[in-house]
Amino acid sequence: MFCSKCGNELSEGAKFCASCGVQVGALVQVAEETKPSFLQSAFNSASQSVKNAAASALHAGELVAHQIGDLNGDGKIDGEDFKIAANKAKQIASATLEETTSLGKRAIQSDLVKEAAAGALVGGVVASAVPILGTATGAAVGAAVGAYRHITK
């Protein structure tokens, strides 16, 4: 016999469907007369496969999250793991700031940058008197001219 609601096979003598919980009775007789089609069986099988795959994916996701989050290896994700992550973020930010500062200092010492900056200053001052161009455009053009002059020396 098959359940009249979900189409799953019923165990002999069952009073309720183990899958969907519908009461076995008069409705089951109708179901016996119109046994689930191949399509219904395929749907039920595919539905169960999808449920199993989703459960496996969820379990795998939980394992990955635990591996990533448990930074101190004590088997749980807690405040200590957050402190470890915060300290690592501070270390990375500090190293990034130091490298950026070092690069900035080296760039400022470059003759190319000095000439581009001087050109930007002159271009900005000259262009400020021309309302259509504006200071920013003048500075950009002046910087380009200063850089060009340095490169063509």
Q: What pLDDT is recorded for position 130?
A: 78
In a domain, 66, yes or no: no
The reported pTM is 0.39
In a domain, 127, yes or no: yes
In a domain, 96, yes or no: no
In a domain, 58, yes or no: no
d(CA 57, CA 54): 5
**Dihedral (CA of 65, 70, 76, 78) sign:** negative
Per-residue b/e over 101-129, b at no fewer than 16 CB within 10 Å?
A: eeeeeeeeeeeebebbbbbbebbbeebee
- Residue range(s) defining the domain that contains residue 135: 110-153
In a domain, 68, yes or no: no
Q: What pLDDT is recorded for position 5?
A: 78
In a domain, 44, yes or no: no
Q: What pLDDT is recorded for position 35?
A: 54
- Say how many residues make up the chain: 153
In a domain, 118, yes or no: yes
Q: Per residue of the chain (153 residues), what is the pLDDT tens digit?
A: 777 777 778 888 888 888 878 887 644 444 444 555 777 887 888 888 999 899 999 999 888 888 888 899 888 888 999 999 999 999 999 999 999 999 988 888 888 888 998 989 988 888 888 777 788 888 899 899 989 988 888
Q: What pLDDT is recorded for position 36?
A: 59
Q: What pLDDT is recorded for position 76?
A: 86
In a domain, 70, yes or no: no
Task: Give me the number of domains the chain comprises.
Answer: 2
